Amino acid sequence: MKKLREGVSTGSCMTGGAAAAALWLTTGKCPDIITVETPIGKTLYLDVIPKEKGICGIVKDAGDDPDVTNGSEVITSVKILPEDGEITFVGGDGIGTITQEGLKLPVGEPAINPVPRQMAEKALRKIIGNRGAVVTVSIPGGGELAKRTFNPRLGVLGGLSVLGTTGIVRPMSEEAMKDSLLVELDMYARQGHRSILFVLGTTGENALKARYGQFACVLQVSNYIGFMIEEAVERGFTDILIGGFVGKLVKVASGTMNTHSHVADGRLETICTHAALHGASREVIEKIYSCVTTKAAMKIVEEEGLMDIWKDMAEKAALHCKKTAHEMAEVGIIFLDGDNQVLAESENVQEILPKVLRQQEE
């Protein structure tokens, strides 16, 4: 198997651009290549695109990671102040602004995360000493690209975030996805929320909002149900609703806490087991078991008058989730059918719903 190529974080691009711009200002010459020391000890060698004195660009190379900013130019300008002082950061074109509490930066700040700031400051101090400076970062086209990221959900508006805790981009989209989910979960925890709705995707989220109303905080957890339950409990959440298409969530009724097809399946086996417990004949169970899709199995279940099994499976899924939460949170399950209507709820959903729904005064 081919080894995937690592990339360079947006924070490293900003750091490289800032260092190159500062060298241009202090030496009169813009370097062709700039070195960046990452927090994990790797040294990067980045090509510099000179713009004008004190302004340099670095093209983001995300390696083999499917990063929306791959190929974007990160442009950094540096203004060195005459007196000693702090280094401040300004968001230029394409950089978002923090509008919600709970992130690592205060409301109103440009979305340039703490580690990239520290990296840039460390690099600049080697060049300008104790002098004050203003660093302005831009990513042309960042406003449009940001619509394809988690930023709108996090209340980061108007553009992208300058990210990176290691300085490099590892081509592991699952790890990156989990990191993104935890940023959102941390934000809700810091805002004081202790109840949350987990959904598998946008379609399910929209369907649940249409059925129940607006939720105080919603997080699209993709396939990582068990992981996110454990992380939520660790952060003090005590009530969790999980809603989504039964074709995915039925796996949870068998105790499968990662619903990705490469991890496990067991959908038809689970449906067959519950159909048998409800008195289905061997012939019916064989028909269900021979189905290729959950949708086909659902049709047989309906034709055979076995619709009560969905409620049982929702209860079983809720039980497995509560065990995953180490009994420290109440977890309710909502199955949606193929038309995004509620197929079944676990018994505790009606108890959890008022805690998860947004209150009128909010």
Secondary structure (H, E, C), 172-232: CHHHHHHHHHHHHHHHHHHCCCCEEEEECCHHHHHHHHHHHCCECCEEECCCCHHHHHHHH
**pLDDT tier at 94, thresholds 50, 70, 90:** very high
The answer to whether the Cα torsion of 116, 119, 124, 129 is positive or negative is positive
Contacts of 285 (CB under 8 A, 6+ apart): 272, 275, 276
Residue 222 has pLDDT above 90, yes or no: no
Lowest-pLDDT choice from 30-34, 107-111, 241-245, 290-294: 290-294
Give Cα 129 to chain centroid, integer Å: 37
pLDDT (tens digit per residue) in 18-65: 999 999 999 999 999 999 999 989 999 999 999 999 999 999 998 877
- Span 3-13, average pLDDT: 87
Spatial separation of the C-alpha atoms in residues 54 and 52, rounded to whole Å:
6
205-208 long-range contacts (CB < 8 A, ≥24 apart) are 206/340, 207/243, 207/336, 207/340, 207/341, 208/243, 208/334, 208/336
| pLDDT tens figures, 124-144 | 999 999 999 999 999 999 999
pLDDT for the residue numbered 171? 63
pLDDT of amino acid 197: 97
pTM for the model stands at 0.73
DSSP at 9: -
In this predicted structure, which of 90-94, 143-147, 149-153, 173-177 has the lowest mean pLDDT? 173-177
pLDDT band at 3 (very low <50, low <70, confident <90, very high): low
pLDDT at 337 over 70: yes
The DSSP output letter for 160 is: B
pLDDT digits (tens, 9 = 90+) for 180-220: 899 999 999 999 999 999 999 888 899 999 999 999 999 99
Portions of the chain given CATH number 3.30.2110.10: 7-169
* Percentage, residues of the chain above pLDDT 70: 97
In tens, the pLDDT along 275-334 reads 999 999 999 999 999 987 888 899 999 999 999 999 999 999 999 999 999 999 999 999
- pLDDT in the model for residue 340: 84
- CA-based diameter of the chain, in Å? 86
pLDDT of residue 172: 54
Map tokens 């190929």 to a residue: 71
Q: What is the mean pLDDT of the chain?
A: 92
Which of the four CATH numbers 3.30.2110.10, 3.40.50.10490, 1.20.210.10, 3.30.160.270 does domain 7-169 have? 3.30.2110.10
Q: What percentage of residues in the chain have a pLDDT greater than 90?
A: 77
At residue 299's C-alpha, the angle toward residues 297 and 303, to 5°, is 120
The secondary structure of 114-159 as a DSSP string is: HHHHHHHHHHHHHHHTTEEEEEEEE-TTHHHHGGGSSHHHHTEESS
**Residue bearing tokens 């399950």:** 333
Check: CB of residue 89 under 8 Å from CB of residue 74: no
pLDDT of residue 362: 41
Q: What's residue 283's pLDDT? A: 97
